[in-house]
Structure 1
Amino acid sequence: MNSKKVDDRIPVTVLSGYLGAGKTTILNHVLNNRDGLKVAVIVNDLSEVNIDADLIRDGGGLSRTEEKLVEMSNGCICCTLRDDLLQEVEKLAKAGSFDYILIESTGIGEPLPVAQTFTYVDEEQDIDLSKLTRLDCMVTVVDAHHFWQDFNSPESLQQRNQEAGEDDTRHVVHLLTDQVEFCDVLIINKCDMVSTEELEKLKNALRGLQPSAKIITTSYGQIDPKQILNTGLFDFDEASQSAGWIKELLKEEHTPETEEYGISSFVYTRKVPFHPERLLNWMAKWPKSVVRSKGLVWLATRNNTAITFSQAGVSRQLTPAGLWVASLSEEERYAYFGADYPKSPDWDDEWGDRVTKLVFIGIELDKEAIIDSLDAALLTQEEMEGNWRELADPLPAF
């Protein structure tokens, strides 16, 4: 007799999304249409008065005797309250009285650390949620009406008084990008507030940022609960590699967008370093068609340091990503990597692993114009043969 093992772990769905996107409305709608599931709800709201929890208590139809609402309002479950989240979920799972756990993350929370909480063993507390629960679906809710306004804003969370703490220096656009790039389901809410043309543009841009997620469009949070409950969609490794820029960089097979959608992407690869001043000038004239770009940069004046470039909306950042393997001595390579140090596919005898490799995702990209303008920022043959240290470098020290 062939019997399939039953997975009796409690499934979990996590709702992420920026402030005001409509997570609580969606959660209430799901709770009111959950076909008899006994649900435990965890709500993470940073305000002193947990407004979201009050809305769910009033509007979600939770049974006081059979179900539970856990309020977590003195921090963020993706960082300061991670230990509390572990303990609460373990307690709910061991109670054995629930069919499902629904979590509404704070509007400034990132989904990846929350997913890690359910995927890895916490050795300090000796809690392994993967044995008790099954992370079923990571959902990100997007506000159709305000997405572009927030995505193109230069403001930080601190400037909006929305930061998680004193050390939270994130920009709004980076938070939005993190939320969109790590999910199984993207719900575009408040679609009634934008035109059909605007909605199509947003859907296509989100497809470029996150080609793997299932996209649902709705108004007033009206979705079929089956679209986010017991989906079996979540896979940590797949979710970690699902962002559009990663897929393009790894050259994975994914459905190419048609010209009708206007979304396209390409990888710019060069084994010649950038002139820092010309690169900075290029960044200042950023092509508006580019929605997202990310990758590694080789700078002539910082020849030992690999540099990460990341752009989303109007935000552009250059940060150190460590040393090029080629910049290490044989002794250092042996100390770091042992006898067989990793050689990247871009390795060559002269420059080693030094390379510029940038992914560009955008709407109606002029690929050739972008490539030509970037090529103009590379060192010329004459500069390649000169003293790179004498080149003008207006970029800040790392």
Structure 2
Amino acid sequence: MAARVVLVAGFTQHDVADELWRASPDSVLVRHDLTALADGVVKRWVDGRLTVLELAHGCVSCTLRLDLVPLLESLDARVVVHLDPMLEPEAVCFALSGTEVRVEAVITVVDARTWLDDATGGETLDERGMKAAAEDERTVAQVVVGQAEFADALVLTEQPDAVTEAVLDRLNPLAPRQNLAKLDAGALLNDIPENARRGGFDDGFGSLLHGEPPRVPRHGVSLVCFSEKRPFHPMRLHKAVDVLLDGVVRTRGRVWVVSQPDEALWLESAGGGLRVGNLGAWPQGKSQELVVITTKDPRSITEALEAAVVTDEELALADELDFVDPFGEWHEEEV
């Protein structure tokens, strides 16, 4: 029987992993330190015993594939994994998805003082001194938003301000929250609802409103739901993307550009970081849809996206027009 895993993520983690470990007798505590990963060195502790690993190619995926996944497959116990701050739990769960290791919960620690500034900024991990490898161009926002969004429960370092709380309500409405000063690790795990993610994924064509977040704006935080059956003009969409990189915490959704009539693209942003990928062929009856969490006037987002949709005339002539398409190949941008 493989391990049952509780992952603890976050830029600031304090002793949350230790509390979860102590709350679960006979569990194993695993820690990773990736600060020297760019040099091919990974430090790993298992119940306090240090192992220094030297990888031929220092990268996050190699760390998961060559170390963490085999380790967890070898353990028959509950394992509390204290993830290095630069690791995103979604990537870890993806690496575990083909194994018998079961993810019981993902816990993310949120620094209530700095999280919202990080989540809406454009600073890169490299600029923060946390770059995992030479090719790591992720932004701080992409990491902290992903960590909070994918969590089954959140631990906050202190009571957040009203705006941060409103953002978290819309980013991850299902996750129970506890204050670090009053942390009850056992109760936190028990409060995770039955329909929590627990490391699971969808195929990109499922609901974008996981957990039914509030639709009514609060404290200047809005949830914009944009849906359109007509495709986007590729160049106008490329220009409109700028509106999603300023005053926006998160954008997620499926888009269709007229120059790629059969392909569904996945567009995702956090703060000033943008990713665009290819989901493959559109299922029958699906329309494009974007969900945006923003701290600015939501009308500016809706108007920009509406203006990027093709006109009736462009749609009628789509087979004859030669569109310049910056989305011709999936890509990742850091802005």
TM-score clears 0.5: yes
Cα gap change, 1:214/1:391 in structure 2, threshold over 3 Å: closer, same or farther? same
CA contact (8 A) 2:35 2:132 kept: no
Amino acid at match of 2:80: L
> Are 2:291 and 1:301 equivalent residues in the alignment?
no
Deviation, structure 1 residue 15: 0.6
Cα gap change, 1:76/1:42 in structure 2, threshold over 3 Å: closer, same or farther? farther
Consecutive unaligned residues in structure 2, runs of 5 or more: 330-335
Cα gap change, 1:301/1:114 in structure 2, threshold over 3 Å: closer, same or farther? closer
Cα gap change, 1:203/1:236 in structure 2, threshold over 3 Å: closer, same or farther? closer
Deviation, structure 1 residue 42: 0.8
Amino acid at match of 2:185: P
Amino acid at match of 1:174: Q
**Higher-strand-fraction structure:** 2
Cα gap change, 1:213/1:149 in structure 2, threshold over 3 Å: closer, same or farther? same
Deviation, structure 1 residue 313: 1.3
Deviation, structure 1 residue 44: 0.6
The aligned counterpart of 1:145 is 113
Distance in 2, Cα, partners of 1:396 & 1:35: 48
Deviation, structure 1 residue 239: 4.8
Amino acid at match of 1:215: R
> Are 2:68 and 1:85 equivalent residues in the alignment?
yes
The aligned counterpart of 1:225 is 185
The aligned runs of 1:145-294 (5 Å cut-off) are 145-189=113-157, 191=158, 199-219=161-181, 223-228=183-188, 239-240=199-200, 249=208, 254=212, 256=214, 259-260=217-218, 263-286=221-244, 288=246, 290-294=248-252
Deviation, structure 1 residue 266: 4.2
Cα gap change, 1:265/1:258 in structure 2, threshold over 3 Å: closer, same or farther? closer
The aligned counterpart of 2:332 is none
Deviation, structure 1 residue 107: 0.9
RMSD between superposed Cα atoms in Å: 3.9
Query: What secondary structure does 2:302 align onto?
Result: helix
The aligned runs of 1:360-379 (5 Å cut-off) are 360-363=292-295, 366-367=298-299, 370-379=301-310
> Are 2:88 and 1:110 equivalent residues in the alignment?
yes
Amino acid at match of 1:359: V
Distance in 2, Cα, partners of 1:52 & 1:203: 34
Which range moves more in the overlay, 311-320 or 140-149?
A: 311-320
The aligned counterpart of 1:42 is 30
Consecutive unaligned residues in structure 1, runs of 5 or more: 1-7, 54-66, 122-127, 326-342, 347-354
Amino acid at match of 1:143: D
Distance in 2, Cα, partners of 1:397 & 1:142: 37
Amino acid at match of 1:27: A
Choose from 293, 297, 314 the match for 1:383. Answer: 314
When the two structures are superposed, what TM-score results if normalisation uses the length of structure 1? 0.65
Greater Rg over alpha carbons, structure: 1
Query: What secondary structure does 2:303 align onto?
Result: helix
Deviation, structure 1 residue 213: 1.0
Q: C-alpha deviations, 1:159-186, integer Å up to 9, x for none?
A: 4442333343333222223212222111
Distance in 2, Cα, partners of 1:375 & 1:15: 40
Query: What secondary structure does 2:125 align onto?
Result: coil
Amino acid at match of 1:142: V
Cα gap change, 1:272/1:38 in structure 2, threshold over 3 Å: closer, same or farther? closer
Distance in 2, Cα, partners of 1:299 & 1:36: 50
Q: Paired residues, what number?
A: 320
Q: C-alpha deviations, 1:128-175, integer Å up to 9, x for none?
A: 445xxxx43210111222223322332333444423333433332222
Q: C-alpha deviations, 1:212-265, integer Å up to 9, x for none?
A: 11122335xx512223457676878565369xx98753x677363555455443
Amino acid at match of 2:293: I
The aligned counterpart of 1:26 is 16
Distance in 1, Cα, partners of 2:65 & 2:104: 19
CA contact (8 A) 2:3 2:73 kept: no
The aligned counterpart of 1:338 is none
Deviation, structure 1 residue 89: 3.6
Distance in 2, Cα, partners of 1:147 & 1:159: 17
Distance in 1, Cα, partners of 2:51 & 2:297: 44
Distance in 2, Cα, partners of 1:24 & 1:80: 23
Amino acid at match of 1:377: A
> Are 2:22 and 1:68 equivalent residues in the alignment?
no
Cα gap change, 1:315/1:68 in structure 2, threshold over 3 Å: closer, same or farther? closer
CA contact (8 A) 2:266 2:277 kept: yes
Distance in 1, Cα, partners of 2:3 & 2:317: 64
Amino acid at match of 1:40: V
Amino acid at match of 2:164: L
Amino acid at match of 2:48: L
Matched-pair identity in %: 23
Deviation, structure 1 residue 43: 0.6
**Higher-helix-fraction structure:** 1
